[in-house]
Amino acid sequence: MNKQNLPDKRYTFNVKKVVKENFKTSTIITDGKLESKPGQFVMVWIPGINQKPYSIGDNEPFSITAVEFGPFSSLLNQMKKGDKLTVTGPLGRGFDYKEVKKPVLVGGGCGIVPLYFLAKKLKNPAVIMGSKTKNEIMCRARFERLGIKPVITTDDGSEGTRGFVTAALENILEKKGADIVYSCGPAPMMRAVAKICDKSGVDYQLSLETHMKCGIGICGSCTLGDKVVCRDGPVFPKNEIKKIKEFWTG
């Protein structure tokens, strides 16, 4: 646990724009700035409903991206210009990207969101984004505006390469090489990514997701092994990932 984040800072932003990413996903862009690092997250509060963790999609203007899968994310998807967005944060440990030369970013589903914020800080990162199907792809245009052409994979082959991100990653590692892989997405995907990196001797950092309730390392609902994910992570380096047995066994 680190104590550099004594964060309980709460901000209320005005929603400036809502971008429809796909049929069930919206990016909520606010009118403000949130001093934060890629990989950190915020707890988003909808008064009277609940409070849930969301990756920081961008710091200036501050944005989050929400995929609709329950009542809370559905409300976020209904947000419109002029609404208020209240968040506590930034929370947790983000990605470490000092002196990185050849990074590869691998995002699965909405795991791509924090990787866009990271991509903004890196020089020419290779980006792989995996989705189930064409109409679930998100954030692609944002990467293109940075001059990055993401490698797209879909499980059903409806767009880009058919299959998982893993084949695309092996391909990049083989052809261009990398000094580090950053990944965020479903646990089985990240396990596969970590295994490929281990085999190729490439360093990696993963952003883990567990069920967070307090976001500040107190309630214990997000533990994985002996880690308190919201405060020790959510980003973990290779040497720590190696020791989390529960990550590898799922």
Partner 1 sequence: MADVSTELAGIRFKSPTILASGILGTSKKVLERVCSKGAGGITTKSITIEPRKGHNSPIVVDFGGGMLNAVGYANPGIEKALEEFDGWEMENPLIFSITAKDCGEYEKIAGMISKIKVSAVEIALSCPHTPGYGLLAGQGDPASTFEITKSVKKKINVPLIVKLSPSVPAIGEVAKSAEKGGADAVNMGNTAGPGMVIDLERKRPFLDFKFGGMSGPAVLPLAVRCVYDVYKAVKIPVIGTGGVTYGKDALQMIMAGASAVGIGTAVYYRGIESFSLIEKEMKEWMESNGYKKIKELVGVAHE
Which region among 15-23, 129-137, 176-184, 209-217 touches partner 1 (by CB under 8 A)?
209-217
Given 23, 48, 98, 201, the residue binding partner 1 (CB under 8 A): 48
Closer to partner 1 at the Cβ: 64 or 228?
228
**Total residues contacting partner 1 (rule CB under 8 A)?**
32
Please report whether residue 161 would count as binding partner 1 according to CB under 8 A. Answer: no
Among 16, 31, 45, 166, binds partner 1 (CB under 8 A): 45
Q: Does the footprint of partner 1 cover residue 51 (CB under 8 A)?
A: yes
Residues across the chain? 250
Nearer to partner 1, 55 or 153 (CB): 55
Tell whether residue 47 is a contact of partner 1 (CB under 8 A).
yes
Interface residue with partner 1, options 104, 118, 193, 216 (CB under 8 A): 216
What residue ranges bind partner 1 (CB under 8 A)? 1-3, 6, 8, 10, 12, 43, 45, 47-52, 84, 86, 88, 213-214, 216-221, 223, 225-228, 231
